Structure formats: C-alpha cells, structure tokens
Structure 1
Amino acid sequence: MEIYISEDATVATLQHEFQEAYSYLKLEFYRQPHAAGQPCPAKDKLLPGMPIEDVRMMHTFGWIDISRNRTAAAVEEDFSRLYGLNVQIMRKSGDLWLQTTTTDNRTLGQMNEEGN
C-alpha cells in the first residue's frame, strides 16, 4: 500500500488515506521533528486543513510506502527524508490515541492489530 504525496494534498487528505488502510492507527503532522523514542509536543501539531505545500521542507511529490510489514519508525523517517514532513504515528487504545514512541520498531500491521 502506498500514499501519494502531491502538491494539492492537505494534512487531512493524507490522514484520511492512512486511516483507510489502518483503522486503529493515524498520522499526526507537526511543525518540528521529533527524536527517536520521543513524543511530539501537542503545541506543534498541524491543523487538518493545512496544505502540505505550506508545511513541507522538500517540495517534491511522489509515493510513500505504508505497507503492513514496514515499521512505524521507517514510515516516519520516509516522510521526513523524502518530503520534509514531520509525522508521528498514533495507535488507538480505548478512547485514547497514543504516540507510538516506545513501539516504533513494530510494524504497522502489528500495531493496527493491537489497537482497539
């Protein structure tokens, strides 16, 4: 599975496409990058209506692999390295969405199966 990063996309567009593939995971976009194993501050979260073109550091477009066998860390790294986008994958736990800081080494498939 892949998501297309285009110049016309918004944060909400990419979030929706990701969540269609993984119902218990979601993407959050942030102004600043985060270190491995560290959470992103809530104050840096971008609003869903933000155009991707306004927030990314690299003005390229193309596909990003979000296959079930990829780790959260690898997907987050690809968003940053390929498109200059700072993302954090979140996992649903009950009524809460948790940042995957301690489980970044798990695959998207594994984390989606653990969500509820």
Structure 2
Amino acid sequence: MKIEVSKDKTIAEIQKEFSESYPYLSLAFFTKQHEAYKGSPAKFLIQDRNQVLGNIEKKPHSGLLFLEEDMPTWQVERLFEEEFGLHVQVFRKSGNTWLETSVSDDLTLEEQNLKGQQSQRHHFDYTDPTDYREQD
C-alpha cells in the first residue's frame, strides 16, 4: 500500500488510509519518539485527530510512503520516523481493546492484522479497560 503524506493531511486521514488496508491495526501519533520494542508513554499521545501533519512533522515535506504486508511492524514505525519525522506506534485490535505492538514488533503487518482478526472470533467478557502503562 502507499500512503501520501503531506503537511495538509490530518492524522485522521492517514489513520483511515492505513486501516482500510489493515482493518485490525491502527496508527497512533505521538509527540516523542520511542525506542525499538518499547512502548510510547500515553502522555505523548496526540489526541486531536484533526491535527494536520505540518504541525507535528519534524521534517515537513510531502511524499509517498510504501508499506508492504511483509514489512515488520518496527520497520513501518521507523519509516514514518526517518522519512517524515512522524512518531507513530502500531496498535492491534484484540477483542474490545487496542494493544500496542511493541512486544511483537518483529511480526509483519499481515501477521499483526491476522492476529487482530483472529482475536475477534473469541468471546471476551467485558472488563473495565485499564491502561497497562499505569501499572507498576
């Protein structure tokens, strides 16, 4: 898939394009970068999905980002960082929850998406969604 990145596009537009190809994955945008195989602190999450990329890009320019289904998750995140200075984290659907994929960054986009799809087949009892990052 290809994603056209430009300073006039919103976070929501990029997220929508990504999710059209990978419906069980989601991109989250942050103000700070994260290390490989590490999570991004919630306090750096950009909540405003209508924020235009030009306001958050560290290397503002337009271009295309080519993402292949056999690309590991860590590489997708790194491409956003290196090409556009955008700090993203891939999340995977798991039942009614979105999981940060930091532990499974070696899995490809296709594998992550399949895991998300398979998680929808299981019955999950509702539990209060607790942010795991708040735990010690």
TM-score band w.r.t. shorter chain:
over 0.9
Partner secondary structure for residue 90 of structure 1: strand
Unaligned runs of 5+ in 1: none
TM-score by length of 1: 0.97
- Which residue of the partner structure matches residue 83 of structure 1? 84
Unaligned runs of 5+ in 2: 121-136
Instruction: Give the deviation of 1:60 after TM superposition.
Output: 1.5
Greater relative contact order (CA < 8 Å, ≥ 6 in sequence): 1
Instruction: Give the deviation of 1:40 after TM superposition.
Output: 0.7
Q: Is the 8 A contact 1:36 1:101 kept in 2?
A: yes
- Which residue of the partner structure matches residue 98 of structure 2? 97
Partner secondary structure for residue 102 of structure 2: coil
- Which residue of the partner structure matches residue 18 of structure 1? 18
Q: How does 1:28-39 map to 2 (within 5 A)?
A: 28-39=28-39
User: For the aligned residues, what is the CA RMSD?
Assistant: 0.8
Kindly, what percent of the aligned residue pairs are identical?
A: 34
Partner secondary structure for residue 53 of structure 1: helix
Q: Is the 8 A contact 1:91 1:98 kept in 2?
A: yes
Aligned residues: 116
Instruction: Give the deviation of 1:4 after TM superposition.
Output: 0.5
Query: Is 1:2 the equivalent of 2:2?
Result: yes
Partner secondary structure for residue 65 of structure 2: strand
TM-score by length of 2: 0.83
Pick the structure with greater CA Rg. 2
- Which residue of the partner structure matches residue 55 of structure 1? 56
Q: 2-side partners of 1:86 and 1:56: how far apart?
A: 9
